[in-house]
Amino acid sequence: MTGISYKKRRRIKESWGDRSFSIVLYILLTLLALVTLYPFWNVFVLAVNDPLDTLRGGVYFWPRKFTWNNLLQILQMPSLSRAFVNSVLRTAIGSTVSVICITMFSYVLTYRKFVFRKLLSRMAVISMYVSGGLIPYFFVIRDLGLINHFLVYIIPFMLNAYYVLFTRTFIEQIPEELRESAQIDGANELVVYIRVILPLSLPIIATLVLFTAVDQWNSWFDTYIYTKATDLTTLQYELVKVLSKSTSSIKSYRDLQSQLNAGGAVTSTPQSIRMAITVITTLPILCVYPFVQRYFITGLTLGGVKG
C-alpha cells in the first residue's frame, strides 16, 4: 500500500454508496446554486429586454430583443448624479462611523471591570424589542437639528443593538491574556483597542462593513421623512419616485395599447423600469461583496456562537 498514491487509495476505500452519495450531493448543490442565481439573472434579462416585448411573456433565460434603453432612461435622470454622490457618501461615511462606534461599544461591554456593563447590555437588548414609534423618533431628530442636514444619514445609524451584541460575542472569544499582557507593557484601553482588538477582529469588522453598507445604501425612507432639500436626495429615493410615477401613469397592458393606438410612443413599462432600478441599485453592493467575502463567513460564524 505504500507505493499506491493517495488518489488511488481514496478510490479503493470509497464504496459505491459513498460515490453515489457524493454524486447526489453535487447535483443537489448545483440545483440549489441555479435556483439561487436564476432570479438575479432573470431580473437582468428583463432589464435589458425591450419593454413591449417583455409584456408578451416568455422571456426567461436570454433577452429576446436586447436593448440598453431601460437602463439608460434611468441613468439619464438629471438628479441622479447628485443622488448617487449622496448615496456613496452616506454609505462610506456612515459605514465607517458605524463600525467604529459598534466595535468600541462592544469592546466596552466585554470589559469585566466596567460597572455599567450589564446595564448597558440589557438596555441594548431592550432597544431591539421596544421602540417609541415614528412620531417620537421624528421629534428627537427635529430637536437634534438634523432635519434637512446630511448628518441625519449618519448619527441615527451610529449604533445598532443587534450588531453590538453580535460583535461583543466575537470580541469575548479573544483571549483575555492578550489584553492583560498589553496592559502590563503600559498600553491603555485605547491602545489595546486599536493595536490588539481591531487587528484580531477583521472577520467581524468585514461583516459589519457589509451589513452597515447595505443598510445605508438601501435606505430611502429617512430621505422621504427628514429631508426636503434637493441637494440631500439619495439614489434610492430618486428611483423610488421614478417607480411610483411610472406605475401610476401606466397601470396595465390595456393602457399601453390605448397609448399606442393614439399614436403615442411607449419607451418603458413599469416592469422594465422596476427591473432596471433593481439592477442599478444592486450592482454596487455586489461589487463590494467579493472584497469582504473572505472574512464574511468567519465573522458571521464566530460572532454568532457563544464561546
- Total domains in the chain come to 1
Distance CA 274, CA 293 (A): 28
Distance CA 287, CA 221 (A): 24
Compute the C-alpha angle 58/64/69, nearest 5°. 115
pLDDT, average across residues 44-56: 82
Residue 46 lies in a domain: no
Distance CA 83, CA 64 (A): 32
Residue 63 lies in a domain: no
Residue 51 lies in a domain: no
CATH number of the domain that residue 265 is part of: 1.10.3720.10
pLDDT, average across residues 29-33: 91
Residue 148 lies in a domain: yes
Residue 15 lies in a domain: no
Residue 154: which pLDDT band, with cuts at 50, 70 and 90?
Answer: very high
Domain hosting 302: range is: 78-307
Give the model confidence (pLDDT) of 51-100 as tens digits: 877 777 788 888 888 888 888 877 777 778 888 889 999 999 999 999 99
Under 8 Å between Cβ of 211 and 304: no
> Collapsing DSSP states into helix, strand and coil, what is residue 62?
coil
Residue 213 lies in a domain: yes
User: In which element (H, E) is residue 134 found?
Assistant: helix 134-143
Give the model confidence (pLDDT) of 231-286 as tens digits: 888 888 888 887 777 666 555 555 555 555 555 455 667 778 778 888 888 887 77
Residue 29 lies in a domain: no
**What pLDDT was estimated at residue 292?**
67
Under 8 Å between Cβ of 94 and 216: yes
Residue 27 lies in a domain: no
Backbone CA torsion sign across 85, 87, 93, 99: negative
Q: Rounded to the nearest 5°, which phi and psi values hold at 181?
A: -65, -35
**What pLDDT was estimated at residue 96?**
93
DSSP 132: -
Give the contacts of 230 (CB within 8 A, at least 6 positions apart): 79, 82
